[in-house]
């Protein structure tokens, strides 16, 4: 597996991301919602670095099923906290096609949030299918399938402390 971002590079990027969010919101209260499951590592590291009063929650959204190709988006809001009248920050692992954040943004606005913004660890350099762009991104990366730091391939590799690009031999060993 090729390392794309080291553990130290990820830490520095998350610190930079937190500073950007702190600078934007100041001391205003913020509701931060993790888009499960890939963002959980980022989410845990990020919220510990933010200084404003926080409420936290989760929403489950997934479009990857058994592999690397994106499919139909499934959203489960049962565990999400109330967002009515709140400023909300969605935290996701990766901005790829944009469909996940676009849909969640619309759904949370529909639930009466004052504002909805987004922060992602990774923004792929590629054409996207929606007008929405993340408000905050720690890194721009090439259009490659990446794992580690919460991102997975068939439920493997989430625990890696670095971000890696799977090689063909890695995929063969998973077959």
Active site residues: 96
Given a contact cutoff of 8 angstroms between Cβ atoms, the answer to whether 136 and 117 are in contact is yes
Rounded-to-integer distance, Cα 137 and Cα 148, Å:
17
Rounded-to-integer distance, Cα 137 and Cα 143, Å:
15
- Residue 98: CB partners within 8 Å, gap ≥ 6? 128, 129, 130, 132, 133
Q: How far apart are the first and last CA of the chain?
A: 16
**Helix (H/G/I), strand (E/B), else coil: 81:** coil
Query: Which residue, among 5, 3, 15, has the nearest Cα to 136 in the 3D structure?
Result: 15
């Amino acid at each position: 597996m090729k390392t794309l971002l080291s553990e130290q590079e990820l830490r520095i990027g998350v610190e930079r991301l937190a500073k950007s969010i702190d600078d934007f919101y100041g001391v205003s209260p913020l509701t931060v919602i993790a888009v499960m499951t890939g963002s959980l590592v980022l989410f845990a590291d990020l919220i510990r670095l933010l200084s404003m009063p926080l409420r936290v929650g989760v929403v489950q959204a997934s479009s990857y099923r058994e592999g690397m190709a994106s499919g139909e988006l499934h959203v489960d809001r049962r565990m999400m906290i109330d967002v009515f009248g709140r400023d909300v920050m969605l935290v996701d692992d990766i901005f790829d096609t944009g469909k996940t954040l676009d849909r969640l943004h619309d759904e949370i606005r529909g639930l009466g949030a004052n504002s909805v913004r987004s922060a992602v660890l990774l923004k792929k350099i590629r054409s996207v299918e929606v007008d929405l762009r993340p408000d905050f991104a720690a890194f721009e990366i090439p259009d490659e399938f990446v794992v580690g730091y919460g991102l997975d391939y068939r439920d493997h590799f989430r625990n890696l402390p670095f971000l890696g690009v799977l090689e063909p031999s890695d995929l063969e060993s998973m077959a």
